[in-house]
Structure formats: C-alpha cells, structure tokens
C-alpha cells in the first residue's frame, strides 16, 4: 500500500537523484523519488556524453559500488573512446557519446522496475524540520510526506535564472521551472548558507544542415570498451553500433564577431555575474582569455540515433541568438546550419559544501543529505558519484549502521567529496586526474579491486556476482605467484575473463615501482604543511603551473604550502611544483 511514510525521500531525478534513490531502495529501504518531471529523469542538459578524463574513472567506481551509470551508458552509448590512450593506463579515461533519449528511457525503466522505490512527479517546496532533524517534505500540491532521511539533488534548479544574451527569465533548465521555495526552505528552515554559480550550454543544430564533407571524422574505438564490470563484453562488442563525431574549428572571423559583440553576452554584460566553471569556459571566455589563439576546436556530437539533432561541444555561450547565428555561420561546414536550440547561460543557488560532513549529511540538520550540482559541482559523473554515496549513507543512517566514507587513496569519489567538504568551492568543481595524489593506483582498470568489497558489504553487489569477483581476484593472485595450474575457465569467471586477468596483471606489474614513488610524494605533501613560501617567490615565473593556478596563488598569496594546498582548485601536483620552485629560489639565494 502506498502511504505517506518513507524511510528515504530523494528530491530530484537527475544523475545524482537516480543513483541516490536506486542505492537506497536496493539496500532495502522504502524510498520515494520526487521529481518535477518524470519524462526528464536522467536528462543530460549539457553534452550527451558520459565519462572522460577522471570522470570515466568515477563512472567505473560508481559501477563497482553497485551503481547504474556505467551499465546504462553501455546500453545507450553510440560512440566509445578511451581518452589518453597514448599515455599510461593510469590516466586512461573511458568516454562514451550517448543516445540522450535512450539514456533517459533506460534509467527511467531501471527506477520504475526497482523494488522498494516509488516515483512521484511533483515538486518538493518545503522541508519539515524538528529539533534540527529533517522529518519530511511538503510538495507543491500541499501533500505532506514523512521520512527518516531526505536527500536533495536539485541540480541547477534552485532559484535558476536563464539568460540568452540580454534576455532573462526564471528556469531550472531552458524549458523547465526553477525551484524557488525549496531554496528559501533550505535557508529559513535549515539555516544553511546559499551562494550562486553560473554555467552555460552550447546551441544544438539540425544535422541535415551541416556540411560534414569539410570536417574531420572522429570515429569511436574498434573494438569499443564497455564501462560496466557486469556487461557481457563479447556479446556487447559484437552487437554495438557506433557513429562518428566530427571536428571543426572556429576562425578569425568567428573571433571578431564575438569580440565585437562581447557586451551582448550575459556572462560579460553583468547579468549572469556569479562565478562560472573556468575549466569549461564559454566561447566568449576563450576569445577574451586566449588572445594568442587563432582557432578553437569544436566537436559536433550527435544527440541520438533517432533524431538529427547535433550538439556543438566547445561552443558554450551566453550570447544572444543573433550573434549565436552569425558566429556559427562563420564556421566552415556550418554556413547553413539551422538552430534547434539556442545556447544559454544559467545562474543558480548552491549550498557551499563545507556545510557537509564526509557522508554528505549536513552538519546543521541531521538526516538531511545533499548531492550533485547543489553542492557546487558540475558534471553528470560528479553528480552521480555524490548521489550513490548520499543514497548509501542516508540508508545506513536509517539502519543505524556505520556510514561509508571513501578515502583519497581509494577512489576519485573520495577525493571529490574530501575536496568539497574540506576546501569548499569558488567555482563549479569538476574532477581532474591532477587532483589525485594517488592517481597511479586509482585507475579505471582496477575500480572493482578497490571498491567491490564495499559494494557487496552494503548490499549493492549480489552474493552471486561477488563470488565471481572473488574468483577473479584469486586468479589474479595466482598469476602474481606464477601459479598456472587449475586456472578457471572464462565461463566460471564471467563477466570477468582470463584476458582481463592477464591485462590487470600487466598493468599493475608495470606500476609497482611507480606506486612506491607515489607514496613517497604523497607523504612529502603531508610534510609540506608548514613550509613557508618566500615573499619574493614569483608565481607567474613558475612555468610548470597553469595560468589558473598562478592567478589563484597571486590572488590569495598563501604563506605556507599547507595554505596553498587548501585553496580550491590547487592540486597536489601544483604543490610539488611549488616546492621545487621554493627549493630552487633558496639555492640561488644561498649561492649569492
């Protein structure tokens, strides 16, 4: 019987909300997903792709914990590519272009068929709080629903404002309503501090109006590699149909059009003035910041097998529609491109994540968890990673069991959450391999070896699957010990196989020596805490640091390496480079 009492309520059906509600329901808790629009569950409002540098590793981690993103990507993917393949396996990053419509439909089906999970299409407008503990929610139609734990995953919807050039209107995404009263409730009922960020998305065009003959084709890998540990790789590779993306470039005319109309952009004319993601810059930012570049890459990515709609990756913009048309039509192959959706910028409320514990529960209100873009991150994978952890911990809290916190040397997900709750954010946070002190040991190939024990212990990996995983791990140990007798057949190892055992053995053997050195470096970083940065150290002159890092260091002017390390966006690798520069400066001063 459906009543108004649940163990866990999840608000929001984006990537964070989907993983959170599936995790909670699969752990046996009565779970309700409240979302504004069931048809837009797991919608990809930005690029139709999952994975990429460091993000691909996170998808493999979600999968090893028993999450859904990798499995759905394998089903809905239409172009698979392992990025960084020319470099070492430590930074190999799987990425897949997805059929956006199929992705959403497959995820809806997973949710709808999940035992213990109800879905309701209605917005939550208020949180019920008693004695600093959340007790439930009130919906837009006045329904009161109680729960032991509540997880909020409302993405860009809180007080969302959309901008196309000089035009402005309320919206959580272009054609969806923003959530105003829930943001007020977070402030007034929960006492949480709220701040604002901006992000933007590129235009989508009609593929029939594109001249692909002048563009460079970007085919997928052959054979493709799936994301999920549980995908039947042989069958999947035989049946997977892939399509290509296309590479084009902006040119000097495009740049002139943007320069001449920069005041038309909501990102420059003072309308959307909250901080945006510097690592995912708008085309306006690229033209203003990188004046020495006379062209920028754009990738044309198909949005679905069933439509001709094409996403223009790299053309994020807050410009008005006329300028968008002019600049697009100045690009070779896009002279006659017809728009289906204009690019736009969005400004929204987020909750500074230093107000959270490592479990993603708020420090102020117990049993209230936050996950996804509401915590100041950007990206589907970052959202889903937080979603699964919030779902697991909200469930464990109800069960009164020890909660799960992943360490920095265990998973990118651990790094993500540790960075958010300890350093906070001053721009939308996205994951990079350079944020990881231990990136040689937290690779995409070994996510199962790192995390499947946890997934099984909390009940997200079935006993039957875990048995096969254990056999895989034992077989790997035999190979390390050079034992070649009685090795299992592929059938017994399925979905793992002997080829995977061999590959894992080769990769981990290759990294053995480097991993020891990595430990030494990580220990060094811990020791740097109190090391003073000389006042006369010129950050700008350190060529190994990125432009963004130099700007941040100049702005904050930290006194110690420990303080520098705590600046949002400063990575462990930056600290190593800074230390080298300090040593160099001190040697040159001693020599005088």
Q: Which residues sit at the interface with ligand FAD, rule CB under 6 A?
A: 11-17, 34-37, 40, 45-46, 123-124, 153-157, 172-173, 179, 182, 199-201, 277, 280, 316, 346, 372-373, 378-380, 383
Comparing CB distances to ligand FAD, the nearer of 36 and 324 is 36
**Six token digits for residue 537:** 């150290």
CA-nearest of 341, 327, 348, 203 to 272 is: 348
Which one, 29 or 200, has the nearer CB to ligand FAD?
A: 200
What DSSP letter does each residue of 65-115 carry, written as one string?
Answer: HT-SHHHHHHHHEEEEEEETTTS-GGG-EEEEEE-HHHHHHHHHHHHHT-T
Least distance CB 279 / ligand FAD (angstroms)? 9
> Residue 166: which of 270, 70, 17, 60 has the closest Cα?
270
Buried b (16+ CB within 10 A) or exposed e, 188-202: ebbebebeebbbbbb
Minimum distance of ligand FAD from residue 102's CB (angstroms)? 17
Q: Is 143 helix (H, G, I), strand (E, B) or coil?
A: coil
Q: Which of 188, 134, 127, 128 is nearest to 362 (CA)?
A: 134
As measured in angstroms, the least distance from the Cβ of 554 to ligand FAD is 26
Minimum distance from residue 204 beta carbon to ligand FAD (Å): 12
DSSP letter, residue 166: T
Considering the complex, state which of residue 420 and residue 545 has its C-beta at the smaller distance from ligand FAD.
Answer: 420
Nearest alpha-carbon partner for 474 in 493, 459, 456: 493
Of 201 and 266, the one with the shorter C-beta distance to ligand FAD is 201
User: How near is the Cβ of 459 to ligand FAD at its closest, in Å?
Assistant: 23
Give least dist CB 380 to ligand FAD, A.
5
Of 45 and 67, nearer to ligand FAD (C-beta) is 45
Strand runs (DSSP E) across 318-416, as ranges? 339-341, 344-350, 368-370
Residue closer to ligand FAD (CB basis): 35 or 475: 35
Nearer to ligand FAD, 167 or 294 (CB): 167
**Rounded-to-integer distance, Cα 97 and Cα 81, Å:** 9
- The closest of 558, 583, 552, 544 to 570, measured between CA atoms, is 552
Spatial contact of 95 and 329, defined as CB atoms under 8 Å apart: no
If the CB atoms of residues 17 and 203 are measured against ligand FAD, the closer one turns out to be 17
How do strand 368-370 and strand 204-206 relate by DSSP bridges?
unpaired
């Amino acid at each position: 019987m459906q009543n108004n009492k649940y163990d866990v309520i999840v608000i929001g059906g984006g990537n964070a909300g989907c993983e959170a509600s599936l995790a909670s329901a699969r752990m046996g808790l009565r779970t309700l997903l409240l979302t504004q629009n069931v048809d837009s569950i797991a919608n990809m409002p930005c690029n139709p792709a999952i994975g990429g540098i460091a993000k691909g590793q996170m998808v493999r981690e979600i999968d090893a914990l028993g999450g859904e993103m990798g499995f759905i990507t394998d089903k809905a993917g239409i172009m698979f590519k392992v990025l960084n393949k020319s470099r070492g396996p430590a930074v190999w990053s799987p990425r897949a272009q997805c059929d956006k419509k199929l992705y959403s439909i497959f995820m809806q089906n997973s949710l709808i068929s999940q035992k213990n999970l109800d879905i309701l299409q209605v917005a939550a407008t208020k949180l019920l709080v008693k004695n600093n503990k959340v007790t439930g929610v009130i919906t837009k139609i006045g329904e009161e629903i109680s729960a032991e734990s509540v997880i909020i995953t409302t993405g860009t919807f809180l007080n969302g404002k959309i901008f196309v050039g000089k035009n402005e209107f309320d919206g959580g995404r272009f054609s969806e309503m923003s959530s105003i009263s829930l943001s007020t409730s977070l402030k007034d009922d929960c006492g949480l501090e709220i701040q604002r960020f901006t992000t933007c998305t590129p235009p989508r065009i009609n593929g029939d109006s594109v001249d692909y003959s002048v563009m460079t084709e970007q085919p997928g890998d052959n054979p493709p590699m799936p994301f999920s540990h549980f995908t039947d790789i042989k069958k999947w590779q035989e049946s997977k149909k892939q399509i290509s993306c296309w590479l084009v470039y902006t040119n000097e005319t495009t740049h002139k059009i943007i320069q001449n109309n920069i005041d038309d952009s909501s990102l420059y004319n003072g309308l959307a003035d909250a901080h945006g993601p510097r690592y995912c810059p708008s085309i306006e930012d690229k033209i203003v910041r990188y004046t020495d570049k006379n062209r920028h890459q754009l990738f044309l990515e198909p949005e679905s097998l069933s439509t001709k709609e094409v996403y223009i990756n790299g053309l994020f913009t807050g410009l008005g529609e006329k300028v968008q048309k002019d600049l697009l039509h100045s690009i070779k192959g896009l002279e006659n491109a017809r728009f289906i959706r204009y690019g736009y910028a969005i400004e929204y409320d987020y909750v500074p994540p230093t107000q959270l514990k490592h479990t993603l529960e708020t420090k102020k209100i117990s049993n209230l968890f936050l996950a996804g873009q509401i915590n100041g991150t950007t990206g589907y994978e970052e959202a889903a990673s937080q979603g699964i952890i919030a779902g697991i911990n909200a469930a464990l809290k109800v069960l009164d069991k020890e909660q799960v916190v992943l360490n920095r040397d265990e998973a990118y997900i651990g790094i993500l959450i540790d960075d958010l709750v300890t350093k906070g954010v001053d721009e939308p946070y996205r994951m990079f391999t350079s944020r990881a002190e231990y990136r040689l040991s937290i690779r995409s190939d070994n996510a199962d070896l790192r995390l499947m024990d946890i997934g099984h212990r909390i009940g997200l990996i079935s006993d039957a699957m875990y048995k096969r995983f254990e056999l895989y791990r034992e077989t790997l140990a035999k190979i390390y010990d050079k034992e070649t007798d009685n090795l299992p057949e592929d059938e017994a190892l399925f979905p793992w196989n002997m080829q995977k055992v061999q590959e894992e053995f080769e990769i981990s053997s290759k990294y053995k020596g480097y991993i020891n050195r990595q430990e030494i470096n990580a220990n060094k970083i811990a020791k740097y805490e109190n090391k003073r940065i000389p006042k006369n150290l010129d950050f700008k002159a350190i060529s190994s640091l990125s432009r963004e890092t130099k700007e941040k260091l100049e702005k904050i002017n930290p006194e110690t390496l420990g303080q520098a390390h705590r600046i949002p966006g400063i990575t462990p690798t930056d600290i190593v480079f800074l230390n080298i520069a300090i040593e160099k400066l001190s040697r040159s001063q001693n020599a005088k």
